[in-house]
Amino acid sequence: MSSTAENYINSVYRPVIENTIEICPGRNYNGPENLMRWTSWNASNPLAPKWDVPLWYDNLPDEFIDNIIGKIYSIEKELGDWKHYNLFSWSDQFPFVNKLLLLLKTMYSWYMEELEYDYPEKIYIRGWLNILQPGELLPVHSHSFHENSFLSGNILLTDSEVSTEYIIPNYSTYCGNYLAGKTKGSVLLFPSWVEHFVPVVKEKRYCLAFDFYTDTSIEYLQKNYREFDPMQLSIEC
């Protein structure tokens, strides 16, 4: 990794005041401990900024994660580009997939119910692995940013010395980014448009990332068909 890239993340995406995002003025405390939410002010004119960033954090049991990572080790060299496979379509090969799908669908339901959203019960999912070698980072990105953006998630499969950092509009500038858990089994659900990144790691790091899609998302893909889009690999959850 070049020093320019590291300096860019450290200077631009590292806020002036760190580790106060959970108590900043924009934090919404309604709901259970699993729900972290930041909202904008009530806009008084059409140009005033508006956003709503609800994050849901949870944990999966160590034994279950150990089962997953054990299987991952066995296929790691065969994975290929992250855009060209869907880990959740391998249920015949890996028995843990069906249980993981059930657990994530349950978290999704809890998340939506706490937000009191009318949500589709029929959803689709695609998952892939982000494996970082010592000295590597995952640059700032979002999973999608358009009118059909929905929900994404990350599952940490190994303990890590660094957190995935989620950038909360405006508040992160002054109060720091939201730091996800560093222990294996940590799960975070987030709106797909939310930007996030992983700083430089010192030890090898495994994370399972995934996107949820709705029927509307699939219809959007079909109407705006490109030669290849990773969403085409999604399966019903």
Do 211 and 147 touch, CB atoms closer than 8 A? no
Average pLDDT over every residue of 168-189: 93
Per CATH, the architecture of 3-236 is what? Sandwich (2.60)
Domain-by-domain residue ranges, the chain?
Answer: 3-236
Q: Is the pLDDT of residue 138 over 80?
A: yes
pLDDT tens column, 25-55: 788 887 788 999 999 988 899 999 989 999 9
Please give the residue that has the higher pLDDT: either 177 or 144.
Answer: 177
State pTM to two decimals: 0.87
pLDDT band at 230 (very low <50, low <70, confident <90, very high): confident
Give the integer Cα–Cα distance in Å for 114 and 80.
38
Do 115 and 190 touch, CB atoms closer than 8 A? no
Closest by CA position to 163, among listed 194, 195, 200: 200
Closest by CA position to 35, among listed 98, 142, 114: 114
pLDDT of residue 1: 55
Strand pairing report for 178-179 and 186-191: unpaired
Q: Is the pLDDT of residue 14 over 50?
A: no
CB count in 10 Å sphere of residue 117: 10
